[in-house]
Amino acid sequence: MRSVTAVTIMALCVAPLFAQEANDIVIDGDFADWEAIPIAIEDPNDMGPGNIHGDYKSIKVASTDDTLFALETVYGDAAPADGFRYYYHLLIDADSDASTGVPNDAYEGNPTGVADVIGSDFHVQIGRDAGANDGISVTHLESQEVVFEDFRWMNGGDSMELSVDFDVFVAPAGFDIGAIFQPGSTIRVAAFQEGNAEGWGPIDWTEPAEHVIGRPFAVDLHGKATTTWGDIKN
Ligand SMILES: [Ca+2]
Ligand SMILES: [Ca+2]
Ligand SMILES: [Ca+2]
Ligand SMILES: [Ca+2]
């Protein structure tokens, strides 16, 4: 005959492995809050040995209905204070439409090598010059208008985390692409880093990933069933 304690222990053993949701992310330089969020973009160690700090390794993306979060990771130290300039750009295809915005198959007249081209409507830049901030900004790309500055971000080791409210992503007059960043709508995200660690040499481009605004992500119940964080909360 089972005791109440035994039943309780059994219940604990089959308890779901809870994933973090974007609501739990804090921009504090501690990246433990990202552990359960899957990598959206992986990029190879494809820069020269002098530019490991500007060499993208992976990107995670998360969102609530009103805020975008990202964790950008490189092969060296993210945004280091080493005397060089680094410009990490998260590209946002806000309408998931390659025919609007600026395509990322070419940059300043040169092919980028990106295979799955997006039409970036905005970018979210972390700019660094000798360890000082040099443009922590959201830019509307077709107009080149900076629409927001000084969003929250923190770096530490190989990573940096950031958050930007969706309501700052406003296209200037004449560049309207309709309703964007609605809960449940799909955006595409990619990235590039340009800097002078190797004399404004190779630029690191990544392939894109899709992200659904505010979507709860799958939680694996020890392989027995799959549910979502949203289901669990209900
Ligand atoms: Ca954090
Ligand atoms: Ca890379
Ligand atoms: Ca677009
Ligand atoms: Ca790359």
> What single string gives the DSSP state of each residue in 54-76?
G-EEEEEEEE-SSEEEEEEEESS
Binning pLDDT at 50, 70 and 90, where does residue 215 land?
Answer: confident
Instruction: Provide the 10 A C-beta neighbour count for residue 77.
Output: 17
Taking the CA of 113 as reference, the closest ligand is 4
Distance CA 209, CA 205 (A): 13
CA of 4 to the centre of ligand 4 (A): 55
Expressed in angstroms and rounded, the spacing between residue 45 Cα and the centre of ligand 3 is 28
Distance CA 12, CA 16 (A): 9
How far apart, in whole angstroms, are the C-alpha atoms of residue 123 and residue 139? Answer: 5
Q: For residues 147 and 140, is the Cβ–Cβ distance under 8 A?
A: yes
Q: Mean pLDDT across the stretch 51-64?
A: 97
In this model, does residue 5 exceed pLDDT 60?
no
Compute, in angstroms, the gap from residue 93 CA to the centroid of ligand 3.
Answer: 4
In percent, the amount of the chain with pLDDT more than 70 equals 83
Q: What is the pLDDT of residue 191?
A: 98
Ligand 2: centre distance to CA 232 (Å): 36
CA of 208, nearest ligand number: 4
- For residue 220, give the nearest of 38, 34, 33 by alpha carbon: 38
Ligand nearest to the CA of 55: 2
Q: Identify which ligand lies nearest to the alpha carbon of 123.
A: 3
Ligand 2 geometric centre to CA of 47 (Å)? 6
What is the rounded CA–CA span in Å between residue 77 and residue 52? 8
Give residue-wise pLDDT tens across range 135-167.
999 999 999 999 999 999 999 999 999 999 999
Query: How many angstroms separate the CA atoms of 139 and 225, rounded?
Result: 42
**Model pTM score:** 0.86
Output the pLDDT for position 219. Answer: 57
Distance (Å) from CA 45 to ligand 4 centroid: 7
Distance 81 CA to ligand 2 centre (A): 20
Catalogue all structural domains in the chain, each as residue range(s) with its CATH number.
19-233 (2.60.40)
CA of 17 to the centre of ligand 3 (A): 36
Span 48-53, average pLDDT: 96
Confidence of residue 17 (pLDDT cuts 50, 70, 90): very low
Q: Which two tokens stand for residue 176?
A: 């309207």
Interval 184-199 mean pLDDT? 97
Average pLDDT, the chain: 89
CA of 30 to the centre of ligand 1 (A): 4
User: Are 139 and 122 a contacting pair, CB within 8 Å?
Assistant: yes
Do 97 and 177 meet the contact criterion of CB atoms below 8 Å apart?
yes
49 contacts 64 by C-beta, under 8 angstroms: no
pLDDT in tens, 120-130: 999 999 999 99
